[in-house]
Amino acid sequence: MTRDQESGARSQESASSFQLPASNRKHSLIGTSPQRIEGRAKVTGAATYVDDMQFGPNLLHGMLKHSPIPHGIIVRIDVSKARALPGVRVVVTGEDFPGYTGLYLKDRRIFALDRVRYVGDTIAAVAADTPEIAQQAVDLIEVEFEPLPGVFDPEFGASPEAPLIHPELGNYEAVPFIFPQPGTNVSNWMKVRKGDMDKGWAEADLVYEHKYRVPHIQHVPLETHVCVAQQDVNGKITLWSSSQSPFAQRNLIAKALHISHSKLRVITPYVGGGFGCKAGVSMEGAAVALAMNAKGRPVKLRMTREEEFYTTFVRQGLVAIIKMGMTQEGRITAVHNRFYWDGGASTEYGTNITRAAGYSGTGPYYVPNIHIDSLCVYTNHPVGGAMRGFGMPEIHWGIEQHIDQMAEKLGLDPVQVRLINCLKDGDETLTGMIMHPTGLSQCIQKAAEAIGWTSPPAPLLEGEGSHKRRGKGLAAMWKAPAMPPNPGSSAIVRMNEDGTATVSIGGVDIGQGALTAMAQLAAEGLGVKIEDVRVNTVDTDYSPYEWQTVASRLTWSMGNAVLQAAENAKLQILQTVAEAWNEDINDLDIIDGQVVSYRSEESRSLRDIAVYGMQRPDGTWIGGPVLGRGNFMPEYVTPLDPETGQGPRAVVHFTTGCQAVEVEVDEETGEVQVLKIVSAYDVGRAINPDMVRTQMEGGAVQGMSTALLEGIILQNGVPRNPNFTDYRIATAVDAPLELESIIVEVPQDDGPFGARGVGEHPMVPTAPAIANAVYNAVGIRIDSMPITSEKVWRELAKTRP
């Protein structure tokens, strides 16, 4: 009998004839993969869509006035013509809302007030009866600028010669672990100093230094940024927002606009993709500002695809200078890495990416002697923010290619070099933290084996020509949840009259399957079937608090809160039953929605007791509505010394893994085709193995897309390809012919059932693995992303006689 058949058979039995399973234990939902969420975990939303029909004919349409120049003083703004246009209801500027906002560094206004700092900087906003009128009004706003010199390279931006983009940097409010450098363009300087660098270089048989570049890229979610804001007669504002951060949005917008948090409600319906760009605040504050002046009418603000490319968050660019020492046996003796992050015009979010790069800056390797500088630099480029991987794909692009180059120069196998140096249980990381149990070595070995590392590439089919070459490459990775030391999660499990459970959370499902995983954890912790669990989407007025849906932390952090809430609800039920039945609570359990006694074999359905309680033998009642509560916050992350970056525990944990790829390169055209990607990751415990594998597959394809195709082209700060015609992303046609996903499970001590996150990690090593495979195939090294056909062809041309 299958588990589902067994559950169905049990449910048909009467309470009096309930039979305990032979093992006296219930089956587990953890490590299983519900096939159809409609038939198992039910999900609901406070609002399932945001469109014109929902808000009726009173809906106003918002539009933003953007800066056409990358840097300049605002001399004059004249909105009189826009305000006079029939159908225009609201026009606002920075004079109306001058407050600063920012998650880690408050360096950004909702509307530019004194100067503009990038092409796309928001200067004003309008709300009108139709989108066409709103566009006309935006065109009628007159702005006079005094152009200023721009900064378009982070290395130059960090130099004393660069013009200052934020002269007021010293006055900005920053969190304690961010270190701005007033009087410069460096908004954060993360330092790691460890060991003796002179000794490390002296012990090395080879010292090699190289520079690598990563461009800005766009997240390009299918759904662009969109929101609706409305203020009621009591002054309360509701924001329907496609957001990864409902509570963070409420917090940041309320502070910037000087309104009470209790006066701002954020509702997040289902989100059409995020990948980090919908974390924090970008354009949502402008919608709230418009609504505050719209006399009760709702205001919709939606970014066009072109606006999405450069007026919302982009992934930061990077210039990485990697210097490494290695012995003839392949042991790394020293690393000196410099990361210059192109943070854009605001680094309110990007400063923490810089920090994450610092404490991860050696890659997943034990290195005794370390000197790392990670600098977040203001430029006159679009605003850099969170993106899947949070700085790790960028730094691993250089580190993992550098490992291969060192190995080749010493005549060593790159896989063996990684196995020699990769962090193992009990090793000390670059910040002094002791590495927790990790399956990184297993991941490297399994990925290499699955790609056939020791075997030559498969021969080309007859007739395919002699101008194509195949090669294999591999790259390892690590990533910690990059977040403050105290990000909280909370959850509520409420029992219903029919014995089903409703789970309220503050995290957002952006396609990663968070609601399904939470349903599994709640069902497991409570002892009910997964189809009897309903998980709500987020409404900050009614949902429990969640910091943000970022950092691949929900399964771990919110999962702990949900499991705790479910177990709390279960405890309340069992305490009631124990008293009513006069039994020891340790003899009771809940199995498939039935409270059972292992001693008496008596049972009772939750539908009879979860809300109404139970009657004692004397006729009185106990129990009542069951409401389980859970919360989780890591209490063990320690500060790092600002000068050395050393501390006992820099992060909660690291997820580690490895990817191996096989490519085919056309020497006549330079085209690179990825034939196979193998992904192996230590996820601690796979709560839902199918969803873990789909994360691995999706991350690998997205990583391949950034490796081969993507890059925002900026010429003196002006974006030249803000559309899908000129900015290509991978489609099903480009996907590898074969994807293999390998789950390694070394449990995490503080994760629910040992789980840790894996949402971002599969995107981290893909690009360097492909670069290494291209080199293996045709002997050329591409050190700047993306690996376009043009670059490959040009490099190949240099090798021809």
Sheet strands side by side (includes 603-605): 588-591, 594-597, 603-605
Main-chain phi, psi angles of 692, to 5 degrees: -60, -45
CA distance 225 to 305: 9
Give the pair of three-digit tokens for residue 582: 């006069």
Q: Which residue has 């305000």 as its token pair?
A: 83
Encoded amino acid at 123, one letter:
I
Question: Could you confirm whether 601 is annotated as catalytic?
Answer: no
Main-chain phi, psi angles of 301, to 5 degrees: -130, 120
**C-alpha 409: how far from its chain's center?**
36
Main-chain phi, psi angles of 498, to 5 degrees: -90, 10
* Sequence-ordered alpha helix ranges (H) in 410-528: 414-421, 440-451, 514-526
Of 307, 379, 310, the C-alpha closest to 350 is: 379
The DSSP line for 429-441 is -TTSPBPPP--HH
| 423 and 435 Cβ atoms separated by less than 8 Å | yes
Give the pair of three-digit tokens for residue 409: 């120069």
Please enumerate in sequence order all residues whose Cβ is within 8 A of that of 579, keeping only pairs 6 or more positions apart, or say none.
616, 622
- Residue 786, preceding bond cis, omega within 30 degrees? yes
Going 579 to 581 to 582 to 585, the CA torsion angle's sign is negative
Other residues' Cβ atoms within 10 Å of the Cβ of residue 593? 22
Encoded amino acid at 586, one letter:
N
Of 335, 363, 362, 339, the C-alpha closest to 351 is: 339
Q: Could you say which of 284, 307, 760, 790 is catalytic? A: 760
Please enumerate in sequence order all residues whose Cβ is within 8 A of that of 212, keeping only pairs 6 or more positions apart, or say none.
318, 319, 320, 321, 322, 397, 398, 401, 402, 783, 784
The torsion defined by the Cα of 761, 740, 698 and 267, in degrees rounded to 10, comes to: -80
Encoded amino acid at 462, one letter:
E
Let me know the angle formed at the C-alpha of 538 by 534 and 540, rounded to the nearest 5 degrees: 130
Give the pair of three-digit tokens for residue 326: 């290695």
Catalytic residues: 760
